[in-house]
């Protein structure tokens, strides 16, 4: 026996729904205020800066490339991107028809006037179900999921930007600590040599015990700084190892002296932060996704239309499957009538989330501009301080020579020599620390600009 059940009235229903207005996204992106055309101090540069032009170490460049493969924070961020891609695939499947199948075996027993009868029943069924996306709800959900993938990809680049800066700064810290250790050991050798000469002069009656004690104290003061510097250098190496995804093994990186002067750098236009800063791109993708969620929330308050098609064949045995069949086409309209304000509250929540995303993005843009401005001002101040320090060191070196000549001629006590020598050695140490600070700040500036390691041709 074959039965067919096909309801009528689908065409008028579709025509009625097609005449309704579809909900649109909120258009929050249009409310973004434009960025300044240039930074406060300089005019925009013609070429966008990169890290390789400042940090020319071949070993560091190799480790930056290795960072992408070995860093565990980046591995976690890549996993989040994969999860977002999978979520997008799930959401995209919602707009496609779904087909399910079933197989059933039953043992039936009937009782009527003729008595009891038992029979087997084997049934095979297939069901096709499809929601017509009349209001664009599924399209908005799919667009939001796609933008979530874009956001996670930008956040992956943001993690890479942060760990790259930390790697470079750990490298600078280690190189500066090694350079300062060399300087202190040279100063310690100089002070030891002077102490030997003073002790000899003391034995000859040409120097006082106070001169010897002062020089011994000065030598001890220099030597006291060595353990802390060894620890600083090793800690920087440990941080470097961990960023590269390995346990600290105490193997030092290749020693490279930091250059005295930084390469020239010009700032690009602030508008380029839109594409250079991954955190800004992530914020923009998040805003667009929130906008699509608003459209989806509005569409959820409207009726939904589903179409179903099912086919069933059955029989009392395998070779009799098909004796009974049922083909059914159905369309249904599901409309929310009363939900105690749940859907309305959901729409309000989505709009509030979009407003939050807009405010977060606006704040991120201002912070990005401020970071560039701050790092640029610091770089200019440190450059001026470096020039003045070099000049002061030149005069301090001359003062040491003059004090020594005066002491040898008996015009001054050795305390004057010691005081000038201490000043000069302190300036030498300050020069290394200031040089390290300048290179650290250059890394902050390049990071704030979102500069790539090297510019692609």
**Per residue in 279-294, pLDDT tens?**
999 999 999 999 999 9
Q: In what order do the strands lie in the sheet with 304-315?
A: 2-5, 324-334, 304-315, 115-132, 98-112
Question: In this model, does residue 199 exceed pLDDT 80?
Answer: yes
Q: Does the CA dihedral 87-91-92-97 come out positive or negative?
A: positive
Question: In this model, does residue 218 exceed pLDDT 90?
Answer: no
State the pLDDT at residue 26: 56
Joined together, the tokens standing for residue 97 give 């028809």
Question: In this model, does residue 348 exceed pLDDT 80?
Answer: yes
pLDDT more than 90, % of the chain: 53
- Separate counts of helices (H) and strands (E) for the chain: 10, 5
Mean pLDDT on 132-140: 89
State the pLDDT at residue 52: 92
**Do the beta carbons of residue 442 and residue 54 sit within 8 Å?**
yes
69 against 14, higher pLDDT: 69
Mean pLDDT on 213-219: 88
Least confident of 4-8, 137-141, 437-441: 4-8
β strands within 68-207, DSSP E = 98-112, 115-132
Mean pLDDT on 86-103: 91
Joined together, the tokens standing for residue 163 give 């760990």
Mean pLDDT on 218-223: 90
Mean pLDDT of the chain: 87
Distance between CA atoms of 424 and 454, rounded to whole angstroms? 39
Quick one: which H or E segment has residue 293?
A: helix 278-299
**Do the beta carbons of residue 240 and residue 253 sit within 8 Å?**
yes
State the pLDDT at residue 315: 83
Q: How confident is the model at residue 18 (pLDDT cuts 50, 70, 90)?
A: very low
**Per residue in 405-434, pLDDT tens?**
998 887 887 788 888 988 999 999 999 999
Q: How confident is the model at residue 86 (pLDDT cuts 50, 70, 90)?
A: very high
Burial of 99 (0-12, 13-18, 19+ CB in 10 A): exposed
CATH ID of 2-26+51-106+120-449, from 3.10.20.30, 3.40.50.2300, 1.20.1600.10, 3.40.605.10: 1.20.1600.10
Q: How confident is the model at residue 250 (pLDDT cuts 50, 70, 90)?
A: low
**Do the beta carbons of residue 252 and residue 260 sit within 8 Å?**
no
Per DSSP, the three-state class of 345 is: helix
- Where exactly are the structural domains of the chain? 2-26+51-106+120-449
State the pLDDT at residue 357: 93
Mean pLDDT on 100-117: 79
State the pLDDT at residue 232: 92
Question: In this model, does residue 324 exceed pLDDT 80?
Answer: yes
Q: How confident is the model at residue 197 (pLDDT cuts 50, 70, 90)?
A: confident
Q: How confident is the model at residue 6 (pLDDT cuts 50, 70, 90)?
A: very low
Question: In this model, does residue 320 exceed pLDDT 90?
Answer: no
Mean pLDDT on 388-396: 95
Mean pLDDT on 93-117: 82
The radius of gyration computed from the CA coordinates of the chain, to the nearest angstrom, equals: 38
Mean pLDDT on 109-136: 82
Among residues 455, 439, 408, 451, the alpha carbon closest in space to that of 170 is found at 439
State the pLDDT at residue 23: 54
State the pLDDT at residue 252: 62
Helical pair 414-449 and 342-408, crossing angle rounded to 10 deg: 150
Question: In this model, does residue 456 exceed pLDDT 80?
Answer: no
Q: What is the pTM of this model?
A: 0.84
Per DSSP, the three-state class of 301 is: coil
Find where tokens 């989806």 sit: 296
63 against 409, higher pLDDT: 63
């Amino acid at each position: 026996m074959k039965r067919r059940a096909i309801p009528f009235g689908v065409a008028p229903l579709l025509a009625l729904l097609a005449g309704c207005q579809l909900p649109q996204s909120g258009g929050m992106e249009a409310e973004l205020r434009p960025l300044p055309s240039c930074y406060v101090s300089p005019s925009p540069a013609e070429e966008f800066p990169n890290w390789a032009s400042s940090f020319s170490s071949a070993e560091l460049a190799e480790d930056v490339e290795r960072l992408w493969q070995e860093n565990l924070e980046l591995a976690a961020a890549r996993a989040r991107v994969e999860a977002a891609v999978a979520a997008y695939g799930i959401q995209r499947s919602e707009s496609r028809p779904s087909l399910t199948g079933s197989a059933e075996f039953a043992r039936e027993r009937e009782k009527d006037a003729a008595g009891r009868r038992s029979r087997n029943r084997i049934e095979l069924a297939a069901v096709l179900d499809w929601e017509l996306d009349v209001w664009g709800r599924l399209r908005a959900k799919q667009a939001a999921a796609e933008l979530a993938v874009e956001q996670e990809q930008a956040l992956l680049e943001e993690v890479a930007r942060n760990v790259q800066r930390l790697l470079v700064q750990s490298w600078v810290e280690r190189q500066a600590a090694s350079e300062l250790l060399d300087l202190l050991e040279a100063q310690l050798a100089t002070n030891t040599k002077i102490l030997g000469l003073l002790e000899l002069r003391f034995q000859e009656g040409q120097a006082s015990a106070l001169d010897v004690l002062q020089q011994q104290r000065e030598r001890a003061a220099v030597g006291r700084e060595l353990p802390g510097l060894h620890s600083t250098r090793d800690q920087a190496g440990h941080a470097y190892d961990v960023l590269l995804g390995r346990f600290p093994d105490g193997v030092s990186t290749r020693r490279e002296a930091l250059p005295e002067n930084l390469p020239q750098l010009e700032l690009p236009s602030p508008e380029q932060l839109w594409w250079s800063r991954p955190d800004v791109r992530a914020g923009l993708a998040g805003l667009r996704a929130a906008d699509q969620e608003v459209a989806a929330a509005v569409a959820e308050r409207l009726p939904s239309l589903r179409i179903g098609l099912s086919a069933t064949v059955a029989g009392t045995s395998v070779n009799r499957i098909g004796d009974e069949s049922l083909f059914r086409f159905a369309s249904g309209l599901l409309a929310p009538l009363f939900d105690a304000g749940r859907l309305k509250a959901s729409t309000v929540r989505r709009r509030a989330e979009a407003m939050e995303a807009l405010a977060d993005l606006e704040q991120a843009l201002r912070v990005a501009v401020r970071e560039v401005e701050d790092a640029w001002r610091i770089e200019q101040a440190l450059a001026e301080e470096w020039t003045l320090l070099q000049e002061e060191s030149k005069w301090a070196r001359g003062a040491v020579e003059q004090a020594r000549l005066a002491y040898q001629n008996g015009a001054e006590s050795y305390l004057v020599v010691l005081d000038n020598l201490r000043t000069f050695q302190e300036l030498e140490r300050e020069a290394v620390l200031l040089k390290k600070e300048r290179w650290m700040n250059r890394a902050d500036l390049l990071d704030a600009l979102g500069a790539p390691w090297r510019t692609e041709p």
